[in-house]
Amino acid sequence: MERVNGPLLEVAGLRGVAVLDVIDVGPLHVPAEVVSIQDGRLTAEAFEYTGGLRVGDGAVSHGRPLSARLGPGLLGGVFDGLLRRLEGGPTWLVPGGFGEMKSNASWPFRPALVELGADLAPGALLGTVTVGSNFEHRILVPPDAHGTVTQLAPAGTMGEDDVVAIIGGSPVTLCEEWPVRRARPARERLQPVAPLVTGQRVVDLFFPIAHGATAAVPGGFGTGKSMLLQQIVKWADAEVVVFVGCGERGNELADAMADLSALVDPTTGTSLRERTVVIANTSNMPVMARVASVYTGMTVAEYFRDMGYRVVVLADSTSRWAEALREFSSRSGELPAEEGYPASLSSSLAAFYERAARVRTLGGAEGSVTLIGAVSPGGGDMTEPVTSQTVRFVRCLWSLDRDLAYARHYPAVTWRHSFSLDGETIANWHASEGRLGWAEARARALALLAEADRLDSVVELVGVSALPAHERIVLLTGRLLREGVLQQSAMSERDAFCSPAKQTALLEMVLAVYDRCLALVDGGLPAAVVEEFDFTAVTRARDETGPDDADGVIRLRDEVLARIAEAS
């Protein structure tokens, strides 16, 4: 070692090292990533605290870039950005004292029907192990292996390093390694067709996301990014969820983990923890591992995608990742572009979001990785570099609005600055499922919300009494849509998740009330009278019916309509 300046290290005399290779430095083997090499001098960024490192300390190379250890030990686990196990690790994370990468567990293995002597290509199924109570973890020929099978392990209990098969003369173990910055290959990209059901009305009804698509969730602090992401961790209809806590809070992670352990997956009957991989590089953990954490998370997701599963990756927050990139590049002397971020920011973001896709895997199955990233714009300024660049690369934007959050309108997704490019695809899907009115109801509601906003600003100037009756009904409907459909408390026992059928029923209820009220004022009833009706049944329906109780909503709707008829 020749120089130590915080995480920035300079090492001389180490041969056979390539850029991005990992080296271990000093007596405590602090891992560091090589960022440049000049005249035999390596510049490296350490992944841990470098206090006490001295000129003259030794360094050894791993001989390969940062890689993830992929295997059946992932599901249900909590890892740091380098995929080291945090559970069972020490209380205080100090150099030399982080957790292990390896899992010592073993799993029941069942070989697939493979004939010895057959020629196998990457992605071919070798067998399965059962993880947790009933997750079928498929062991495939890794992307970089192929050839004749000369040996296949019989059924039995296996650990991570046990050999499953010998292919082309090389052993394939239960676990494989993959460099995290490289996307895992697939046969082809497929078009999105079906929505990822999140159970959150504002998302599923208005700005839906397809399996294999991407979404960004920008919002100032406290607007509800983490909450929305965690709702999706809990309720998304996916087989595997990867949550990357990137530079965020420790308490939040502890809370999320406790929630996941307590919740039961309705389709499998097991705890939601069992389908989740948590990568936790909280804000007080070393900054450089934050850069790695999103790549690590993506690699883990692709690994499960390759087994033919639908995977969701949630990254909270991609801004902290971008900031770590900025720190990294400013220390290594790169010329800063906007706000000190490196000029490569936009290509890094694009490359990351591009890794999400619905694919035909090498083995021929269909799998997908859906990516949802929180964005934390400095000062809530949506024009800052990370937000404005990210928006260009995503298919859905769920913008969170501080005014809505202050008014405790949660989720604070604003219908003004959000979009989904997959609305039509998903409308077709709903139609194919028999929900023919879905697209029309959605369009009507969005139009009413926009009109109500316009009228609100008129009212601020002239007062509500200056509006014609039918416009006052639009205003009223805007409120009912906001309170009865869009608002959805993550804390509600009955309403935290809402099934597609109940979603549609709630929306149609408000539209029916609108039509009825409009007819009344057209018939001459003063708008002020209609406004004083008790609409609490409409706004409470979401909470007073179960998560999938569309019929209950329809019953309530009929009662409300009847009462309106009586009162008028």
Partner 1 sequence: MSTNARSGSEMSVGPLGPIEYSGARRVGGPLLAIAGVEGVGWDEIARVRLPSGEVRHGLVLEVSGDVAIVEVLQGTSGIDPALVNVSFEGRPFDIPVGDGWLGRVWNGMGEPLDGGPPMLGRERRAVNGAPLNPSRRDVPSDPVFTGVSVIDALATLVRGQKLPVFSSAGLPHLDLAAQIAAQANVAGENFKVVVAGMGLTHADAAAIRDVLETRSAQGDLVLVLDTADDPVVQRVLTPRVALTIAEYLAFERDQHVLVVLADMTSYCEALREVSSARGEVPGRRAYPGYLYSDLASLYERCGRIRGHAGSITLIPVLTMPGGDITHPVPDLTGYITEGQIVLSPDVHAKGVYPPVDVLSTLSRLMRKGVGEGRTRADHMALAAQLIASFARARSARELADLIGAEALTETDRIYLDFEDAFLRDLVNQSSDESRSMEDTLKRAWNVASVLPERELTMMPRAMTAAYYTGNLREGEGGLGADNDPAPVRASPPMGDDHG
Contact between 61 and partner 1 per CB under 8 A: no
Across 299-318, b (16+ Cβ under 10 Å) vs e yields: bbbbbbbbbbbbbbbbbbbb
- Out of 40, 88, 90, 222, the residue judged to bind ligand ATP by CB under 6 A: 222
Contact pick of 28, 382, 458, 490 for ligand ATP (by CB under 6 A): 490
Give the Cα separation of 274 and 140 in Å (integer).
Answer: 21
Number of residues that bind partner 1 (CB under 8 A): 88
How many residues lie near ligand ATP (CB under 6 A)? 14
Give the DSSP H/E element, type plus range, for residue 157.
Answer: strand 156-159
User: Rounded to the nearest 5°, which phi and psi values hold at 54?
Assistant: -125, 160
| Residue 289: partners with Cβ closer than 8 Å, 6 or more residues away | 47, 48, 80, 81, 82, 281
Among 283, 489, 499, 568, the residue binding ligand ATP under the rule CB under 6 A is: 489
- Which of 230, 545 has the CB closer to ligand ATP? 230
DSSP character at residue 340: G
Work out which of 55, 113, 335, 491 binds ligand ATP, going by CB under 6 A: 491
Residue whose Cβ sits closest to Mg ion: 226
Residue 243 DSSP SS3: strand
Q: Which stretch binds Mg ion (CB under 5 A): 153-161, 175-183, 225-233, 284-292?
A: 225-233
The single residue listed with the structure tokens 């450089």 is 288
Q: What is the 3-state secondary structure (H, E, C) of 522-559?
A: HCCCCHHHHHCCCCHHHHHHHHHCCCCCHHHHHHHHHH
Q: Does 191 bind partner 1 (CB under 8 A)?
A: no
Q: Tokens 């709707």 label which residue?
A: 557
User: Residue 95 binds which entry of Mg ion, partner 1, ligand ATP, none, with Cβ cut-offs from 5 to 8 Å by kind?
Assistant: partner 1
Q: Find the binder of partner 1 among 61, 106, 271, 330 (CB under 8 A).
A: 330
What does 223 bind: Mg ion, partner 1, ligand ATP, none (CB cut-off 5 to 8 Å by kind)? ligand ATP
CB of 248 to Mg ion, least distance (A): 6
Q: How many CB atoms lie within 10 A of CB 257?
A: 18
Residues 332 to 391: which contact ligand ATP by CB under 6 A? 376
**Which of residues 40, 58, 97, 266 is near partner 1 by CB under 8 A?**
97
Q: Among residue numbers 518 through 537, which ones bind partner 1 (CB under 8 A)?
A: 528-529, 531-534, 536
- Sign of the four-CA dihedral 327, 18, 171, 305: positive
84 binds, among ligand ATP, partner 1, Mg ion, none (CB under 5 to 8 A by kind): none
Residue among 76 and 218 whose Cβ is closer to Mg ion: 218
- Give me 226's structure tokens: 């983490």
* C-alpha–C-alpha distance, residues 72 and 328, integer Å: 33
In eight-state DSSP terms, residue 452 is H
Phi, psi (5° rounding) for residue 526? -65, 140
By C-beta, is 191 or 465 nearer to partner 1? 465
Question: Using an 8 Å Cβ cutoff, are 136 and 128 in contact?
Answer: yes
Compute the least distance from the CB of residue 214 to ligand ATP, in Å. Answer: 19
In the complex, what is the shortest distance from the CB of residue 377 to Mg ion, in angstroms, rounded to a whole number? Answer: 13
Tokens of 303: 């690994």
Closer residue to Mg ion (CB): 225 or 482: 225
223, 226, 296, 503: residue in contact with Mg ion (rule CB under 5 A): 226
Q: Up-side HSE of residue 251: CA atoms within 13 Å toward CB?
A: 0
Asked if residue 11 lies in contact with residue 57, where contact means CB atoms within 8 angstroms, the answer is no
Q: Is 443 in the site for partner 1 (CB under 8 A)?
A: no
**Residue 407 sits in the site that holds partner 1 (CB under 8 A):** yes
| Residue 58 within binding range of partner 1, rule CB under 8 A | no
- Contacts to Mg ion by CB under 5 A: 225-226
Which chain residues interact with ligand ATP by CB under 6 A? 219, 221-227, 376, 410-411, 489-491
